[in-house]
Structure 1
């Protein structure tokens, strides 16, 4: 099995609401020899408002994002899916991709009426090159040097790691050069630390990860927060449940489980709830950053792990405690109200077989056929996305009344803050705040975006005033 090394550039970080504007991927064989590559760009969707910081980071002007000669987002996503499918089964690798790029890709597929989980389909694997960088630097003879940020803290940002190790292959925040840089990083580790690379690839196999988590009494789980790593000695506690069959709950062995077991159910639930609490979550199908306790470097500060091993033994002999934590965890998620925004409902449930067949038909249908398919879709999420696609691609397929209703919905979305997508007024405020704070405005990119926002706001307001 080979690899697909990929990267995305987006209009922002708000998964479900922002969009991919550039995608690049490199196909390699099992030895990381390049077989093929491609790069695609698209123009801005009518309902998406880019975040000013994203435009600054990606060096993208609003004129470039709205270039009518570029493919639509739907056309780009369709091409991405076709090209990746042509490459066959592979392990998909990006840099910080599990938490971001893959989520953006899933949302792009779903909102374009394609099955969302191409990278985790049977026979494929997923891995995150940021994890292999962490593992390589944890070796007694590391093959990578981790740089420090402006605050003197270790940083895992790709551009900084690449510069510190001499394999930058182009400007940062460009999908094609970032994919090439990620491939160079993988080649460096595979050649200089083959055992690290082998462990990294095994983590892409969810069955192997599930077996390790279940069988190893104590292991290190590394988690990333803003490109900073946190390392914890943990032990498997319980499966996450039917809502997430790939999820595993683990216990941070810095906390005494015997003391927690003496708590009442409500107190235990409160202890387990915080994101920085003793209950840690991992997904066996998401290539978690796991290190054996005996491989952990001294600077991680674990020292004698005898107490951790004793607590792990207590957990194993008291499975009822894990069941209580799992029940409290399930209740916490069960009580969470569903999002009112269709863009945040990707993981609510899978489309039915009936709707999946209609999704496939949609892509081959005429504009009239697509209009008819919308009425047949049972899933309201899919109806919303199909309606949006038709509105953007084939306005003539609508009646006058339907077209005016869709235009009204779009104008309200762009102007009215509903605690979801970025609006035109909010983006304008962000630009003002950035410029006041001294943000560098290379080539007047932010000022140009501000002028475009002003024109679009006036048009949207004028339309609603006449509606």
Structure 2
């Protein structure tokens, strides 16, 4: 069965190459957002030679001492994550995940002697980041969704502000499991409001579909949305 694995990290900093994860949460659903199995929510003990950024502690509300007491080793942490992400026919989904969470996964898997890329494409697996779908939706189909604005008047795509503006549950921003459920809620909002846009963007997670859209010699225009 094809499934979506919604996931999120909290980390001790903003550089995936250097800063270690502190928390991971993942929830598996079918394509209709029905939850399959039990969620995964684990903490990773910080390495003794790594100093967490104080701002990261303030954002997440977690201290190194707390995570050290309640967490598991990084080896066991990424073993559990790999077991979920590498299940056949899994689409790994996140919010800003291509630029951040997937990089945390790659570095963590590599450090712990796993193939850092295999889970992304082997056995029918794919990966998808819904933040660019939100950007596309705002650009071409903004109706039906409340778009929050920053103080300077620019639209904000921060997850916690999108959920608040649209009355979606988001009990604890920057808690990984809460952020996962919020990501699912935002994706469902887009699918319910603009189902054709959702299905089109979802199909483009497959390289073959993207290649067809970008095929040389085609006279069809292509609109590319990113940041």
List aligned pairs for 1:423-462, cutoff 5 A: none
CA contact under 8 A between 2:92 and 2:127: conserved in structure 1?
Answer: yes
Mapped partners of 1:170, 1:156: distance in 2? 18
Mapped partners of 2:76, 2:145: distance in 1? 39
RMSD over aligned Cα atoms = 1.7
Q: How many residues align?
A: 222
Please report how far the alpha carbon of residue 140 of structure 1 lies from its aligned counterpart in structure 2 after TM superposition: 4.3
Match of 2:49?
A: 47
Please report how far the alpha carbon of residue 149 of structure 1 lies from its aligned counterpart in structure 2 after TM superposition: 1.3
List aligned pairs for 1:59-458, cutoff 5 A: 59-67=61-69, 69-85=70-86, 87-122=87-122, 123-140=124-141, 142-214=143-215, 215=218, 218-224=221-227
Please report how far the alpha carbon of residue 106 of structure 1 lies from its aligned counterpart in structure 2 after TM superposition: 0.7
Please report how far the alpha carbon of residue 4 of structure 1 lies from its aligned counterpart in structure 2 after TM superposition: 0.8
The SS at the match of 1:220 is coil
The 1:174–1:212 alpha-carbon spacing in structure 2 relative to 1, beyond 3 Å, is same
Superposed CA deviations along residues 247-295 of structure 1, whole A, max 9, x for unmatched, are xxxxxxxxxxxxxxxxxxxxxxxxxxxxxxxxxxxxxxxxxxxxxxxxx
Please report how far the alpha carbon of residue 154 of structure 1 lies from its aligned counterpart in structure 2 after TM superposition: 1.0
Superposed CA deviations along residues 209-237 of structure 1, whole A, max 9, x for unmatched, are 0121123553222222xxxxxxxxxxxxx
Mapped partners of 1:29, 1:164: distance in 2? 26
Gaps of 5+ in 1: 225-467
Please report how far the alpha carbon of residue 133 of structure 1 lies from its aligned counterpart in structure 2 after TM superposition: 1.5
Mapped partners of 1:207, 1:75: distance in 2? 35
CA contact under 8 A between 1:17 and 1:48: conserved in structure 2?
Answer: no
Please report how far the alpha carbon of residue 185 of structure 1 lies from its aligned counterpart in structure 2 after TM superposition: 0.9
Superposed CA deviations along residues 309-356 of structure 1, whole A, max 9, x for unmatched, are xxxxxxxxxxxxxxxxxxxxxxxxxxxxxxxxxxxxxxxxxxxxxxxx
Gaps of 5+ in 2: none
Question: TM-score normalised to the size of structure 2?
Answer: 0.91
The 1:174–1:64 alpha-carbon spacing in structure 2 relative to 1, beyond 3 Å, is same
The 1:133–1:175 alpha-carbon spacing in structure 2 relative to 1, beyond 3 Å, is same
Question: TM-score normalised to the size of structure 1?
Answer: 0.46
Mapped partners of 2:89, 2:22: distance in 1? 25
The 1:159–1:118 alpha-carbon spacing in structure 2 relative to 1, beyond 3 Å, is farther
Mapped partners of 2:213, 2:143: distance in 1? 24
Match of 1:19?
A: 20
The SS at the match of 1:219 is coil
Work out which structure has the larger RCO, using CA pairs closer than 8 Å and 6 or more positions apart in sequence. Answer: 2
The SS at the match of 2:179 is helix
The SS at the match of 1:183 is helix
Mapped partners of 2:199, 2:71: distance in 1? 40
Structure with the bigger percentage of helix: 1
Please report how far the alpha carbon of residue 187 of structure 1 lies from its aligned counterpart in structure 2 after TM superposition: 1.1
Please report how far the alpha carbon of residue 88 of structure 1 lies from its aligned counterpart in structure 2 after TM superposition: 2.8
Mapped partners of 1:47, 1:210: distance in 2? 44
Mapped partners of 2:77, 2:181: distance in 1? 20
- Rg larger in structure: 1
Superposed CA deviations along residues 155-200 of structure 1, whole A, max 9, x for unmatched, are 1111111111111332111110000000011111112211011111
Mapped partners of 1:26, 1:71: distance in 2? 19
